[in-house]
Chain A
Amino acid sequence: NAGVTQTPKFQVLKTGQSMTLQCAQDMNHEYMSWYRQDPGMGLRLIHYSVGAGITDQGEVPNGYNVSRSTTEDFPLRLLSAAPSQTSVYFCASSYGRRETQHFGDGTRLSIL
């Protein structure tokens, strides 16, 4: 099994550009989440999904959109990139509330 796959691994954008960070899991997990990791701030939840067609906001949703059309995929869209969105982004999935989360290896995003 591949687990949780994130693409791309690295990306540099200019302010105002848009892009989509891809996340796919092959474990048939219901729950998927997007986090950003910034120095000294741990992981902060951006958006999450409890199943196909169901998404909700986390702590820091502004500037990001998500959709969940299939169980496997949970893309994160940056609508108009800003330097404050420079971060490392992690996607995670789990089978249920009690279960551990499986993380991808992250996307390192720089906004110039």
Chain B
Amino acid sequence: AQSVAQPEDQVNVAEGNPLTVKCTYSVSGNPYLFWYVQYPNRGLQFLLKYITGDNLVKGSYGFEAEFNKSQTSFHLKKPSALVSDSALYFCAVRNSGGYQKVTFGTGTKLQVIP
């Protein structure tokens, strides 16, 4: 069975500092990996995805993520955090073969402190 782990329930970072939100996954075969963000009382919004190709993926709002196959990780990063980045972040994985369900992590709350 596929799974996603987001080991930190909450990450606090000062405005202007770099941020990292961690994600590791387990899946048979090649993974499709996604990051979504959720603001209060809203649905999830897509940030970026890794399907194939370059291990460094750039997405919306200045976010990027690095796919590391040997460590089965897909950490979300941003060079300089903004207060408006404060939200709930979800990592998700899907197997690339056949129709496989998407599995989400439990989410990490990012708090950017002014």
Residues in A lying within 8 Å of B, measured CB to CB: 4, 31, 33, 35, 40-45, 48, 50, 58-59, 90, 92, 97-98, 100-106
Contacts and interface: CB of A to CB of B under 8 A. Distances in A.
Closest 7 A/B residue pairs (Cβ): A103-B43, A42-B106, A100-B46, A43-B104, A103-B44, A42-B104, A105-B43
Contacts of B32: 97-98
Determine the main DSSP class of A at the interface with B. Answer: strand
A101 B90 contact: no
A105 B42 contact: yes
**Contact count band on B:** 20 to 34
Nearest to A33: B102
Given A98-B51, A106-B43, 9 more contacts: A33-B101, A43-B44, A100-B49, A101-B34, A101-B44, A101-B102, A103-B44, A104-B43, A105-B41
A97 B49 contact: no
A44 B4 CA distance: 12
Contact of A45 (B36, B96, B101): B101
A48 B101 CA distance: 8
